[in-house]
Amino acid sequence: MSGGATRWFSETLHASFEQRFEITEVLYQSNTDLQDLIIFETPFFGRILALDGVIQTTERDEAAYHEMLTHVPLLAHGDAEEVLIIGGGDGGALREVLKHRAVKRATMVEIDGSVVDLCRTYMPTLSNGAFDDPRTDLIIADGLKFVEESDRKFDLIIVDSTDPGGPSLPLFSDEFYANCRDILTEDGIFICQSGVSFVQEAEARDTRKRLAGIFEDSALYLAQVPTYAFGFMTLGWGARSGRARSTDVGTVRNRFAAANFETRYYTPDIHAACFSLPAYMNY
């Protein structure tokens, strides 16, 4: 943060580039056991969560990320009952998963319990009561170990992590991806974030290669999240079969209508288009 009459939060995640957010109030700031955490209020984006100096989510545009992370695989699958979320302590992904009535249990494994507690206190709209849903099974533990040791099967695994580094680094490995595949059901789907490809091309390229080597069906798809500078947020898709990704847009449209919930970003037409990549991402 910089001083002066107006306070600013500066993010310098990408080389030779800085973006700043005006701070109207710091709601909470601390160094947890695992990472530096700050939650602050802004005039335009509302409340913002940053970890280790990097913006994680904002009230203004979080729906673009969380809806695409969840509704694309859930509506493509059509019958997911057991969902595992690794990370996602702010509760946004959990909130969206639980909008699907077919989901019988959403297991969330978050390594830093303080993120959950602080977001429930200072950014409650992100989870919107999801942690109190009886279908939620919140486990404060290392997601890497949970996946390695679990004897359960999941229809969908979502990895909602920070960028590679710190406690999230092991979540970007062949071993972790392979362990996730092993606990998926026959048509199960694995979703992960893989950076903003325009400036994090190596991350997206490595994710695509890793998914292709481990899963029967693999792809990248896109979401436009304004806070994540330089455009498209890239999400990785890995599945045990090609059934879900071949679901036609008419079926997705019918499933979305039957699900009967509102979205701020996701639509079936965006769903159909999100796997179409710009030329620079054809790798």
The DSSP code sequence of 108-174 is EEES-HHHHHHHHHH-HHHHTTGGGSTTEEEEES-HHHHHHH----EEEEEEE--SSSGGGGGGSSH
Asked whether 215 and 181 are in contact (CB, 8 A), the reply is yes
Asked whether 65 and 57 are in contact (CB, 8 A), the reply is yes
Residue 139, Cβ density class (10 Å: 0-12 exposed, 13-18 middle, ≥19 buried): middle
Q: How many CA atoms lie within 13 A of 134 on its CB side?
A: 1
Amino acid, single-letter form, for residue 97: V
Q: Could you give the dihedral angle defined by the CA atoms of residues 72, 77, 79 and 82, in that order, rounded to the nearest 10 degrees?
A: -70
Q: Which residues contact 185 (CB under 8 A, 6 or more apart)?
A: 82, 153, 154, 155, 240
Given 61, 160, 163, 187, the catalytic residue = 160
Token output for 35: 């990472």
Catalytic-residue membership of 206:
no
Asked whether 20 and 53 are in contact (CB, 8 A), the reply is no
**Which of these, 12, 28, 29, lies nearest to 20 by C-alpha position?**
12
Q: Which residues contact 190 (CB under 8 A, 6 or more apart)?
A: 156, 157, 159, 177, 180, 181, 184, 211, 215, 236, 237, 238, 239
The helix/strand/coil state of 227 is coil
Amino acid, single-letter form, for residue 149: E
Catalytic residue numbers read 160
